[in-house]
Amino acid sequence: MLLHNRRMISAIQYLRLVLFLLFTATVSAEEFGTVILQYHHVDTSTPAITSISIDDFRSHLDYLSENDYYVQTARELISTLSSDNEIPDKRVSITFDDAYKSIYTNAYPLLKQKRFPFTIFVTTDLIGRRHYLSADQLREMQQHGATIANHTHSHTHLLRMKTAESNDAWLLRVKAEIEQAQAILESEFGETPRLLAYPYGEYNQQVLDLVGQMGFVGFGQQSGAAGKGSSLLVLPRFPLSGIYTDLNSFRLKIRTLPMPLHVFPVLDPQVSEPTSQPTLSLQFKQGNFRLHQLSCYGPGGLTDLRQLSATEFIARSKVPVPVGRSRYNCTMPVNNSDRFYWFSQLWIRKNDDGTWYPEL
C-alpha cells in the first residue's frame, strides 16, 4: 500500500512538472526580443496620421510601468541586440522622429515623471524652427534621459535622385546629408551615438550599404519586434499614430516577439514592373512553432502563402503593390499564449513612368 501511494505521489508530481513546463516555458528565452516604439506628434491639433493624443500616450507609459517593462536607453538597446547574451522579456525602447515641439510640451513631462529614457531623431536643419524643438529644449531633455540622434540634415527622400544626377553623385549627397547632421549634433550636444532613422522609413540596398560603411545603426518604420537576427542597418519599429494608438493595439504590439526565422531577410524594398507583386521568402528555425497558423497580409488582404518545405514559406501579394510605400506584415501565434511573432517587409514602388509619387 505504501509503495502504491508513493507511485501515485510520483505520478502526480510528474504530471505537475509536465504542466508547469508546458505553461511556463511556452516561449524560450532565445526567442524574446525588444520592441521599439516610434512616435511623432503628441498632440491632437497636428495631422492625425502622425499624431497621438496626450491621453493615449499617457496610457502607453502607464501600461509599461504597471506591467514591469524595462525601458532601455539607445545604447542599452544596441548592446542588447549585439551581445551574445539572451534577451530578457519585456524590453522596450521609445523613439520620436522629427523633433516636434509637442515632444517637449506634452511627452517629456510624462516621460520625466516615469524616469523613462527615450531617443529623439532630429532633422538638424529644422532645429528652432516653428513647430520644432529648440537646441535648448533638446539639451534640457538630454540631461533627463533623452538620446539625441540623427534624422539627416534636411529630411530629404534619400532614394530620389535629382535630374541628371549620377549614381555616385547621389550617394555622395546622401552621405553628406548624414554627415552634416551628425556634425551639427556633436557640436550642439556633445558625443552623439551613430544612430540614424531613415526619413519616411525609406531605404534601398545602396543606402543600407552606405549606412553600414559609415558605422551607423539604422532604424526603419516597418513594424515588428527586434531580435538577435535583426539587421542593425534597418531595425523595425512600431509606428504609434493615427488609428493605431488605442491601448488594445498597443498591448498587442508591445508583447510581440521577433519571428523565429533562420535568417532575417534584408531585401531591397524598391519594386517595379513586372515585379510589382514581390516575393518574400521566410525560412524558419527548427522548432515547435505553429507554422500552420502563419499569416501574411499585404495590399489586398491576405497574401498567397506557399510552403516550400517543412520550414520555408513564400509570401506574394495577390494584387500589385500600389505606387508609394506598402508592407507585408506576417504574424504567427506563440504556442500556449495570446502573444504573436511578427515580421514586416517594406515595399516602395515608383510611378509606372519611373517618376516619384508626391507625398500627401
**Residue 352, CA distances (Å) to 107, 274, 349 in order:** 41, 10, 8
pLDDT exceeds cutoff 80 at 47: yes
What's the length of the chain?
360
pLDDT of residue 27: 57
For the chain, give every residue range classified as CATH 3.20.20.370: 29-258
Instruction: Find out if CATH 2.130.10.10 is the number for domain 270-349.
Output: no
Q: Contact, 93 vs 37, CB < 8 A?
A: yes
Beta bridge partners of residue 340, listed in sequence order:
333
Q: Considering the chain, what is the average pLDDT of its residues?
A: 92
| Cell of residue 37, nine digits | 516604439
Q: What is the mean pLDDT of residues 186-200?
A: 97
Assigned CATH class of 29-258: alpha beta
Integer-rounded Cα Rg, in Å, for the chain is 22
Residue 343 grid coordinates: 515580421
Q: Are 194 and 214 in contact (CB under 8 A)?
A: yes
HEC profile for 227-271?
Answer: CCCCCCCCECCEECCCCCCCHHHHHHHHCCEECCECCCCCCCCEE
Strand partners, 89: none
Across the range 81-91, mean pLDDT stands at: 94
Q: What is the pLDDT of residues 207-254, one digit of tens each?
A: 999 999 999 999 999 999 999 999 999 999 999 999 999 999 999 999
CATH 2.60.40.10 location in the chain: 270-349
